[in-house]
Structure formats: C-alpha cells, structure tokens
Structure 1
C-alpha cells in the first residue's frame, strides 16, 4: 500500500474521531430521544389497551346489571364507565339504564338519567326522543316541545306531534304528523301508527302513493 494511501486513511480516521468528539453530545442525545419516543409510544399503547379493556368490562357490567333489574348496581357501573372514558359505550349504557328505570316504574329517575347524557351528535335525536316521551308522560309537554323544537326526522316529528296534541294544539299536531309521514316509506311499520295519530288529531292520512 502506498504511503499516500496510508496517510489518507489516517487523516480520514482522525476526521471521523474528531467529528465524534465534537458531536457526541448531540448524537447520543438524539439516540436517547429516539429511544424515549419509541418506549413512550409503546407505554401509551399499553395504557390505551388497558383503558379500552376496562371500559369494555364496565360496559358489560352495566348492561348485565340493567338486564338483571339491579338498578343500584347498574347505576354504579354506569357512573364508573362515564367517569373513566366518555364515549359511545357510556352513552349506550346510560340509555339502557334509563330503559331499565322506566321498566321498573322509576320514570323520574329515567328522566334524570337521560338529562345527564351528553351524547355524541349521532345519538342526540334518540336521547331527545326518549326524554321527550317521558316528559309528555309526566305532564311536561311544553318541555318536550322545547326539546324537539328543531326536530326534522320522522320519528322526532311524531313525538313532537304527541307533545303538541298533549298541549291541546291539535292543528299543529296534525301538521307535525303529516310532516312525519313524508319521511316514512309506505311499507314502514311505523307509518300505520302515525296515520292513526293523524286521524285522531282530526287529519286525513293520504292514500298510498299520494303526497302528504
């Protein structure tokens, strides 16, 4: 090997060692940061998995307790579920609890449960309808009307019609039922009931195939 080649290799080696000395802190800091990110991500994934498992177990406990008519146990399970992670599971568990309370004759408790739900947007109409029905049954039709003031889907319009009828507003109730029919297919099971309600309010259901 030529002397010049040896000198070049030596010079290159010195340059590498010099670079390492000058950049050691940043190099090792970058490695440490990279490892911290990796381990931090793994820790977060484990925490999420553990939380999801707990949420699922709390949800099962709430549903089983409600199905078994153990309302106190169901309430405790729902509280634990909503407190650990507010999500669709908590919303569904609270809806199931409210149903169990209604079945047990505890209407006011069911109203309180439904009032306490802050569901995601897709469930809001369902929560409002169930709460409105209970308010009508409790003689609070005006509150039900306020709750359904922006109703636009057929099921909610039907309940709004019920509230209007309970308030003695038959003309407005007929209009609500007629609007509800516009969104119901002629073969929909609910259509016949809405037609009966419209008739009871003094209206005339359209014949099949005719516009409402």
Structure 2
C-alpha cells in the first residue's frame, strides 16, 4: 500500500474521530430519544389495551346487574364510557320497559349522548318509540327528523298515524318499504301497517 494511501486513511480516521467528539453527545441523545419514543409508544398501547379490557369486563358485569334487576345497575351504566355506556343504556332501558317502567326508560335514553352516528340514530329511534307510546308524538317526530332507516321511517309512520295524520303515515310506511329487503321479516309488518293507514302495498317485482 502506498504512503499516500496510508495518509489518506489516517486523515479520514481523524476526521471521523473529530466529528464524533463534536457530535457524539447529540448522537447518543438522539438515539436515546428514539428508544424512549419507541418504549413510550409500546407502553401507551399496552395501557390502552389494558383499559379496553377493563372496560369490557365492567360492561359484562353491568349487563349481569341489569339482567338480575340489581338496583345498582343504573350507577354501573353511568360509570361506563363510550360505546359500552350506550349499549348498556339500551339494555337497561329495555329491562325497564319490560318491568313496566317506561318513564324510567325514557329518562335512561335521554341521558345517552353517543359520539358514533349509527349508535346515536339507534338511541333516537328507541327513544322515539317510547315517546310515541307515551303520547308525545311531536317530540318523537322531532327526534326522527333526518333519519331515513327503515326502523326510523316505520316509527315516523306510527307517530303520524297515532296523531291522525294518515296520509303522512302512509308516506312514511311506503318509504320504509322501499328501503326494506323483500325477504326481511320487517316487510310484512310494514305492509300491514300501510294497509291499516289506508294504503296498498306494491307487489314486489319478480324476476322472469
């Protein structure tokens, strides 16, 4: 190997050592921060998983309390979070209705404010049905405004029919039918309600 080559290698080595002396602390600090970030992320994921598991366990315990008629069931429902609280509230409201405590069920569903749009619609439809049963038709219709699922349209028809608006009821039932599969169990009930409101169900198209 030539002397010039040895000098070049030595010079390059010195440059690397000098750079490490100047930047070694920052480099080590960056590596440490990176490792800390990875550890922190893994710790956070672990915490979230543990929290979700705990929520699921509390939800199951709450459902058991609802089924058994435990007087503390309502407070257990209130202690839940997110979708678990919504689902438990629906279960509690059903238990209250089955026990003949409709007004308590209405209060339970009024206290639910789901962030998930689908769950929010489900709660509104369930609450609207209870309000219809309680004779609060206008309030039920206000809840159902803007919801075009078959269940919501059926409830709207029920509210309109209950307050004597047969034409509006027929329109709601007909819209519900157009959104309901021919083989769905709900369809036959909608056809009966449409007939009772003075309408005539259209015969489903058959494929040739």
Q: TM-score, normalised by structure 2?
A: 0.87
- Say which of 145, 149, 160 aligns to 2:156: 160
Q: Deviations over 1:130-178 (max 9, x none)?
A: 1111001111111001111223222211110110111121221122222
Distance in 1 between the 2:32 and 2:180 partners? 63
Equivalent residue runs for 1:57-206 within 5 Å: 57-70=57-70, 72-82=71-81, 86=82, 88-119=83-114, 120-206=116-202
1:13/1:183 CA distance change after superposition, 3 Å: closer
Q: Give 1:4 deviation, angstroms.
A: 5.1
Distance in 1 between the 2:11 and 2:105 partners? 83
1:191/1:8 CA distance change after superposition, 3 Å: closer
Is it true that 1:35 corresponds to 2:35 in the alignment?
Answer: yes
Higher mean alpha-carbon deviation, 117-126 vs 34-43, is at 117-126
Q: Which runs of 5+ in 1 are unaligned?
A: none
Distance in 2 between the 1:168 and 1:180 partners? 19
Q: Which residue of 2 aligns with 1:45?
A: 45
Q: Give 1:207 deviation, angstroms.
A: 4.1
Q: Deviations over 1:172-197 (max 9, x none)?
A: 11222222222233333222222222
Q: TM-score, normalised by structure 1?
A: 0.86
Distance in 2 between the 1:154 and 1:31 partners? 57
Distance in 2 between the 1:128 and 1:78 partners? 18
Distance in 2 between the 1:69 and 1:9 partners? 83
Query: How many matched pairs?
Result: 205
Q: Deviations over 1:18-46 (max 9, x none)?
A: 11111122112211211211111121112
CA contact (8 A) 1:65 1:74 kept: yes
Distance in 2 between the 1:109 and 1:145 partners? 20
Higher mean alpha-carbon deviation, 57-66 vs 178-187, is at 178-187
**SS of residue matched to 1:81:** coil
Q: Which residue of 2 aligns with 1:21?
A: 21
